[in-house]
Structure 1
Amino acid sequence: MKVSWKWLSQIIDLSNIEFNELTEKLTMAGFEIEETYELIELQDKIIELKLTANRQDTSFLIGLAREISTLLNKPLKNYYSQIKPNRVNKTYNHISSRSLEDLKLNIIININNKHSPKWIQNYLKSYNIKTTHLLNDIIEYVNLKWGQDIEIFDAKKIGIQSISNDKIQISNTDDISQILDKKNHSYYPNPEIVKCNNTILSIIGIKSNDSIKCDLNTSSVIICGTICQSTYIQSIIKQLNIKTEKSTKHRKKILRCDFLYAYEETIRLISTFAQGIVGKSYTYHSVPYKQKNLLVSKQNIHHILGPIKNHSSEFLSVKKILNTLNQLNFMSTYNDMKQVFIITIPEYRIHDIKRPIDVIEEIGRIYGFKQFYDDLPEAISKGITSNKRQIIKTIRKILRDLGIHEVIHYSLKKKNKYYQNNTNLIELYNPLSEDQNVLQNSLFTNLLEIQQYNINQRNFSIEAFEIGHIFIKDQIHKDCINTQQNQENICVACIMGKPNFSRSSWTDKPKELSWFHAKGILEEFFEKLQATVEWKKFTNSDIAEINQKVANLFNLKKTSTIYNPRTKENIGFFGQLDYLNNYGIEYYPTYMFEIQLSALMRTINHIDHLNYRIKPYSSYPSITRDISIKLKSHENIDIIRQRILNQNNNLLESIEIFNEYKHNRDKRKISLRITYRAQDRTLGDTDVNKINEQIKYMLNQNKE
């Protein structure tokens, strides 16, 4: 949006305000200044602003002047009184409309359409608008000043000299193809149009009839102004698949107070410079304006804005708050008993001031956020990290240690080939763009896109993992009624595989990743996480589930389900990808897994203590003796080994089974290597022989 300094000075007294001071105040008030420059020919300065979506009330000169008046605490000049409506209005209720909130019509005859005065031309030049003739220049001037779409039509082309009730019609059955320049097109349902003397003036809120526009030969005109319901305009734009400058303006809520002033100034300018005779004004109004009141407590204002600087214990007083609200043109009173401000919002701010917090923000913005303390409170205690966050941190470290790269993607996706035939996909009703119109229901697509991108860029394929949110639309059967419920889960997904994944030695050729190697990597991940899981073959229900996520993507013969052995709950699946050529990825063994985090957490056994004992390590050498034991084929050597250890001899350190020799089917010999060591001395043959005799005696006793 462009703003002329000279034009602005005629509405607000800027004699004591520097140009740079005004731009700084606008910036501090939340308006982004894109550019400022000077027009030497017109002796004017221009400010280009970028407006936010919630401040469309400042998208024209008067709206911005109201805002600057609030920021500078300077009243607008006595400007409204010059265009105060004084026409004789005649309201007619014989029409009915589903689109109109206001309609005003006037006829002016005996006009002289000529070139516009120099001051109007200069205003339009400052906005790079080319001047044509008086009537067209007035339309452009009013649009810049009031942001209103006032239309002027040639009355002679319509064939009318006066307006009456029987000549005004609202219809939706006429052919509008010529006006929209879309012939042989079927419009259903047809939009509403305004007709005068059976001639279409305009498609309400969409487009005017160019064939009855004014030219230099125009001697009488019909002035038409409308306010449409924004919801109606949005639905018509969607149905007709058409967007015009007029429809864009009417989609924004037009304020009735500005509409009336703009309409009256249009009539005043035409009657003044074209010297015409103005007829009666015909008006249709359906929706009366309802004042909007908000209750804002003083305690909330103090709590949110905080104390004033240089007065650490002092908050905004009631008087200062009332003065600031008055500066904002909010009508306000204070209830001392309830300590609540009762605030009436003006019509031009009802679309962005809807909650008490909005009022508090305006108070802080106008009074100056820099006037309040912005220190954060000191943390009393350190926050506790949730178990889920700790597990995610551990998972991230384990996978990185395994040499897998982490990737991050948006949860909003474009509905493409990866999402075909997905019945549990959640689509957005009003997406910001076509590239973000669905919520992802699997992390597989992100990892496939990573591989595809790297291959297209001639990069090496990488092993990648992602921890992210997925959103699923589930069918719930309750009381024989099918209902839908949206679910949000956190999942861990990984893709592995490349043509030269590993090699046994430097002299060997690199090999592809095998299924068992990939499964071993995943098992190492579970082991480090201390998760107890089991694997099972795919069932029909599992196949249905995976097909809903990514159709025809896995080799089902090389795909397994991972589940919790205690609860029998599926936590995810792992498998080899197939048909990768269909997705632009050259074929080599590639494996993927996806695991649901909450289910994975239920498989982790948290060990609070260890069954270990600490004892000193002996600095004296050990002695080993080998013994051979004859056993029958059915006797278990582990039982005998345990009996020897149960002697509780503190010199016996370990027993190792190192050989077995079978005489026949019934007998065999087992060789044991026994290690002896003392904590306080070097052992001799006497000590060892004594222990061996004890073992020999114990073995003989067992045989008997």
Structure 2
Amino acid sequence: MNISVPVSWLREYVKTDITAKTLANALSLSGPSVEKIEKRGNELIFELEVTTNRTDAYSIFGIARESNAILNAQSLKSSLVKPGGLNLNLDPDKSKPLLLDIVIKDKNLCPRFTAIIVDNIKIQPSPAYIRNRLSASGIRAINNIVDISNYIMLELGQPMHTFDFDKIKGAKMTLRKSQKGESIKTLDGNIHKLPEGSIVIEDSERLIDLCGIMGGLNSTVSRRTKRVLLFTQAYNAQAIRKTTQALAFRTEAASRFEKGIDLEGVLPALSRAVYLAKQTAGAQIASELIDIYPDKQKSKTFRLNFNKLNNYLGINLEQSKSVQILKSLGFQTKQNPNQIVVTVPSWRTQDIESDVDLIEEIARIYGYHKLPSKLPTGETPQTKESDLKEVISLKNALKYLGLTEVITYSIISKNLLKVSKRSEKNSVELTNPLTEEWQFMRPTIIPSLLKVISENR
């Protein structure tokens, strides 16, 4: 996944005096690769490629955390500063809190759901720094409340929603699977006929959210909005993925939800959103905090043997250096004479699965370029002769007999399907074909061969 990172925004959280180019080189050497540095107006933008397993780095603060660890390992002065408001007191500002009934039909659909109502909202344009950062990241600014949700997603990697509380009929939200024949009009004005099993939210009368992808138009925040529901959550990643595939509809939020969200980061993101709403819209907390979190995320602990570490690296790395690197990445460590006991931070539980992953973390931050480059010694491993050898021999024999090999797609168009005399009803049709040429799985190779002959006369 590629993300755009405004350098000035990044520098708000990673304090260092080095140049943007030096920072980009350091990141590319030991972390997410900076594909290019682009200037948009007065802002420098890093275009980064982040591997799919590193969902923790799909945000400005995630990249700041990486940058800080890498720079310190390279003896470049740096410090990490967290965004303000991550641990805000979320007690109501009103003596009579508003009530909202939340029902989650299946906890597997939504492992964590947090929400809070704020009122006294003044809808207006966002401050310039928010508008500029959203624009530099490729997102259009709308108003000070809607912009907060996009800002939090880019900053912390946590998608969130903002609803006009007064548009939620019956002050009730039920999260469930969609049923056959249901549809919803989303914020972009498009009507989507939903596949069964999509995660949706309904109020007492109608659907108001296509969860994890886009909110409903009927609950949108407008210039008349006075009371807002802010909510952050984590959804079943497989369910989100299936819906985006079925609808051919992927958003920035869906791209993050379908790869998995840090459950422990959900509440701090909501807290940060309230903090920004107070700053930019004069918000007051008008309800108790809702935090539905039935199965707490379990921490992972591994034992890393120093001898194993050094055998993998090919060097004798100081034990204190290994511990320092892991701590800089947010891991908790307890050092014993021959090993480290390492507890994985919540934002890395999805990709750290063994002590070998810890070795990889130490190696990349230390610098692969510092490790010795030696070719393996000893006998070359003997492999069993491939069965493809006989296939290749047969192909060569047929070629010398005057035959021509044809390689064609197993997906064909509706017109080619007619040639096979197989009805559409009895054929396998793709749900979201990329083109009209690739609509059906071919029942026989004959239509494809006829097409090749007709085009090569």
| TM bracket, shorter-chain basis | 0.7 to 0.9
Work out whether 1:287 is the aligned partner of 2:286: no
CA displacement 1:182-221 (0-9 Å, x = unmatched): 58x68545744253x6564423324312122112222221
1:9 counterpart residue number: 11
2:144 counterpart residue number: 134
Q: Distance in 1 between matches of 2:273 and 2:118?
A: 11
2:317 counterpart residue number: 316
1:249-288 correspondence to structure 2 within 5 Å:
249-279=256-286, 280-288=288-296
Q: Distance in 1 between matches of 2:341 and 2:236?
A: 29
Paired residues in the alignment total: 417
| 8 A Cα contact 2:302 2:343, kept in partner | yes
1:326 deviation in Å?
1.7
SS of 2:135's equivalent? helix
Q: Distance in 1 between matches of 2:271 and 2:336?
A: 39
1:414 counterpart residue number: 410
Q: Distance in 2 between matches of 1:224 and 1:158?
A: 13
1:414 alignment partner AA: S
SS of 2:123's equivalent? coil
1:125 alignment partner AA: S
2:106 counterpart residue number: 97
| 8 A Cα contact 1:331 1:345, kept in partner | yes
Q: 2:239 aligns with which of 219, 226, 232?
A: 232
Q: Distance in 2 between matches of 1:344 and 1:203?
A: 36
**Compared CA separation, residues 103 and 319, structure 1 to 2 (3 A):** same
Q: Distance in 1 between matches of 2:206 and 2:454?
A: 63
Q: Distance in 2 between matches of 1:398 and 1:9?
A: 60
2:357 counterpart residue number: 358
| 8 A Cα contact 2:65 2:80, kept in partner | no
Work out whether 1:151 is the aligned partner of 2:161: yes
Q: Distance in 2 between matches of 1:190 and 1:378?
A: 54
1:38 deviation in Å?
2.1
Q: Distance in 2 between matches of 1:54 and 1:201?
A: 31
1:287 deviation in Å?
2.1
| 8 A Cα contact 1:158 1:199, kept in partner | no
1:331 alignment partner AA: Q
**Compared CA separation, residues 375 and 121, structure 1 to 2 (3 A):** same
2:174 alignment partner AA: Q
1:12 deviation in Å?
0.8
1:47 alignment partner AA: F
CA displacement 1:260-299 (0-9 Å, x = unmatched): 2221121111122211321222221122010011233223
1:110 deviation in Å?
1.9
Q: Distance in 1 between matches of 2:366 and 2:265?
A: 27
Q: Distance in 1 between matches of 2:302 and 2:131?
A: 44
1:603-614 correspondence to structure 2 within 5 Å:
none
| 8 A Cα contact 2:103 2:173, kept in partner | no
Q: Distance in 1 between matches of 2:10 and 2:177?
A: 42
1:305 counterpart residue number: 313
1:179-198 correspondence to structure 2 within 5 Å:
179=185, 182=191, 188-189=196-197, 191-195=199-203, 198=205
**Compared CA separation, residues 19 and 94, structure 1 to 2 (3 A):** closer
Work out whether 1:58 is the aligned partner of 2:64: no
1:253 deviation in Å?
0.6
2:284 alignment partner AA: I
1:94 deviation in Å?
6.7
CA displacement 1:390-445 (0-9 Å, x = unmatched): 9959x859968x957999999x973679x999xxxxxxxxxxx9999xxxxxxxx8
1:28 counterpart residue number: 29
| 8 A Cα contact 2:85 2:275, kept in partner | no
1:624-635 correspondence to structure 2 within 5 Å:
none
Higher RCO, 1 or 2 (CA under 8 Å, sep at least 6)? 2
1:124 deviation in Å?
2.1
1:486 counterpart residue number: none
1:304-703 correspondence to structure 2 within 5 Å:
304-307=312-315, 315-336=316-337, 339-379=338-378, 381=379, 388=385, 392=389, 414=410, 456-457=455-456
Q: Choose between structure 1 and 2: higher strand proportion.
A: 1
| 8 A Cα contact 1:100 1:226, kept in partner | yes
TM-score by length of 1: 0.51
SS of 1:321's equivalent? helix
Q: Distance in 1 between matches of 2:396 and 2:196?
A: 57
Q: Computing the radius of gyration over CA atoms, which structure comes out larger, 1 or 2?
A: 1
SS of 1:219's equivalent? coil
1:79 counterpart residue number: 82
CA displacement 1:515-540 (0-9 Å, x = unmatched): xxxxxxxxxxxxxxxxxxxxxxxxxx
1:669 counterpart residue number: none
1:7 deviation in Å?
0.9
| 8 A Cα contact 1:91 1:283, kept in partner | no
1:170 deviation in Å?
3.6
2:38 counterpart residue number: 37
SS of 1:88's equivalent? coil
Q: Distance in 1 between matches of 2:403 and 2:366?
A: 47
Q: Distance in 2 between matches of 1:154 and 1:116?
A: 17
**Compared CA separation, residues 457 and 200, structure 1 to 2 (3 A):** closer
CA RMSD of aligned residues (A): 4.2
| 8 A Cα contact 1:179 1:207, kept in partner | no
2:87 alignment partner AA: K
1:255 alignment partner AA: D
SS of 2:359's equivalent? helix
**Compared CA separation, residues 271 and 192, structure 1 to 2 (3 A):** same
- Among all aligned residue pairs of Structure 1 and Structure 2, give the percentage whose two residues are the same amino acid: 21
1:377 deviation in Å?
3.5
| 8 A Cα contact 1:66 1:76, kept in partner | no
| 8 A Cα contact 1:201 1:209, kept in partner | yes
SS of 1:112's equivalent? coil
| 8 A Cα contact 2:334 2:342, kept in partner | yes
CA displacement 1:564-598 (0-9 Å, x = unmatched): xxxxxxxxxxxxxxxxxxxxxxxxxxxxxxxxxxx
SS of 1:48's equivalent? strand
**Compared CA separation, residues 335 and 112, structure 1 to 2 (3 A):** same
| 8 A Cα contact 1:330 1:343, kept in partner | yes
SS of 1:100's equivalent? coil
Q: Distance in 2 between matches of 1:405 and 1:372?
A: 54
Unaligned runs of 5+ in 2: 93-98, 423-433, 439-444
CA displacement 1:114-139 (0-9 Å, x = unmatched): 12112212212322433232112222
| 8 A Cα contact 1:101 1:286, kept in partner | yes
| 8 A Cα contact 1:108 1:222, kept in partner | yes
1:697 counterpart residue number: none
2:32 alignment partner AA: F
Q: 1:222 aligns with which of 229, 238, 261?
A: 229
1:385 deviation in Å?
7.5
TM-score by length of 2: 0.76
SS of 2:231's equivalent? strand
Q: Distance in 2 between matches of 1:124 and 1:186?
A: 30
